[in-house]
Amino acid sequence: MNKLLDVELSVPTETSKLIVPISVHCHTACNLVVWKPVDSETDERDWGAIRIIMAKLMDRLVDLLHDYQLFSPLVALIELQETSESWSHLTGDQDWHRGRFIVQSVKTDIEEAKERWLGPLKSVDYSPRRVTSVEFTRLLKEAVHSAKPPKGADATLFSRYADNLMISVESDKSDEFGIAWRSELISDINSLLGEQVLEGVNDVGYF
C-alpha cells in the first residue's frame, strides 16, 4: 500500500495520562494510531477517562485528515501487555466513539498487527464453479424446505409463494411462475375487496 506518513511519537517518562499515542501511520489502506496504556493496573473507575482521551485525539485526527482529503478508515490499535475483561469490553463496544473509528487490542506482535492493516492486500485464486440446472433445482429445493418467512412477512403467504416456486421449478416452467403468482395475488385482492376490481395480467405483466 502507498505510504503517506509514518510518525513515531516520544512518550514522556512521567505522565498523568492513562493511555498515550505512540505512533501515527497514514496510508492509502487506512489511517492508524497505535496506543499504549501507561499503567497496566488501570483502576476500574478510569475507563471513562480512557475513552475520552482516545476519542478526543481520534476525532481531531479525523477532522485534520479530512482537511487534507484523506478519507481512509481510521483505526486505533491498543498495544497491551496483558488482556483483561475490561479491555475486551472497551474494544468490543464500538458505540462510545460513535463509529468514527475502529478499536482493536493487540497482545502479541504489534508490528504484525500493523502490517495486517497497512500492508498490501492479500488475495487467493478464485475458480468459479458452474452450476447446472439440475444442481440449481436441488439447491433451491433444500433452501425452500428450510427457509423461514422474513421478519414481518405473513407465514401463510410466504408458504404459498414457496409452494408456487417449487411447482414451477419441478415442472420446468419457471418463466410462468411470475404470471401464476400475480394471478393468485389478483384473486386474493378481489376476494378481499368483495368484487371483481382487477381482471388479470396484460401482455407486459402489469395489472
- Report for 15-19, 52-56, 159-163, 203-207: range of highest mean pLDDT: 52-56
Read off the pLDDT of each residue in 70-92 and give the average, rounded to a whole number: 84
139-164 pLDDT, tens digit per residue, is: 777 887 777 877 777 788 777 777 77
Look at residue 189 and tell me if it is in a domain: yes
Q: pLDDT digits over 3-25, tens only?
A: 677 788 766 555 557 888 999 88
pLDDT of residue 40: 58
Q: What's the mean pLDDT in 158-185?
A: 72
* Domain closes at, from 118, 146, 177: 118
Q: Which residue has the higher pLDDT, 200 or 135?
A: 135
- 29 CB-near residues (< 8 Å, 6+ apart): 1, 72, 117, 118, 119, 121
Residue 68: pLDDT band with limits 50, 70, 90: confident
Shared domain for 146 and 102, answered yes or no, is no
Q: State whether 140 and 112 are in the same domain.
A: no
Cβ-contact 88, 105 below 8 angstroms: yes
Q: Quick one: 11 and 106 in the same domain?
A: yes
Burial state string for 176-187 with b = 16 or more CB within 10 A and e = fewer than 16: ebeeeebeebbe
Same structural domain for residues 18 and 74? yes
Number of structural domains in the chain: 2
User: Are 88 and 156 members of one domain?
Assistant: no
Chosen domain end from 69, 88, 118:
118
Residue with cell 409463494: 161
207 in a structural domain: no
Which pLDDT score is estimated for 9? 76
**Contact in structure between 61 and 31 (CB atoms under 8 Å):** yes
Lowest-confidence range among 22-31, 79-88, 156-165?
156-165
Residues with Cβ within 8 Å of residue 70, at least 6 apart in sequence: 4, 26, 31
- Look up the domain containing 111 and give its range: 3-118
Of the residues 92, 118, 144, the one at which a domain ends: 118
Give the per-residue pLDDT at 69: 80
For residue 33, give Cα distances in angstroms to 9, 24, 88, 122, 199: 10, 5, 18, 22, 65
Distance in angstroms (rounded) separating the CA atoms of residues 106 and 114: 10
Could you tell me the pTM of the whole model?
0.53
Q: Tell how strand 102-106 and strand 74-79 pair up.
A: parallel
Residue 176 pLDDT > 70, yes or no? no
- Quick check: 122 pLDDT over 70? no
Could you tell me which residues are beta bridge partners of residue 32? 25, 75
For 13-119, strand residue ranges (E) read 19-27, 31-37, 74-79, 102-106
Confidence grade of residue 135 (pLDDT, cut at 50, 70, 90): confident
3-state helix, strand, coil in the chain (%, to 5): 45, 15, 40
Average pLDDT along the chain: 77
32, part of any domain: yes
Residue 102 sits in a domain of what CATH number? 3.30.420
In this prediction, residue 204 carries a pLDDT of 39
Give the C-alpha separation, 179 to 196, whole Å. Answer: 18
pLDDT value of residue 77: 92
| 175 and 107 in a common domain | no
How high is the pLDDT of residue 202? 46
Place of cell 483483561: 84
Residues 111 and 164 in one domain: no
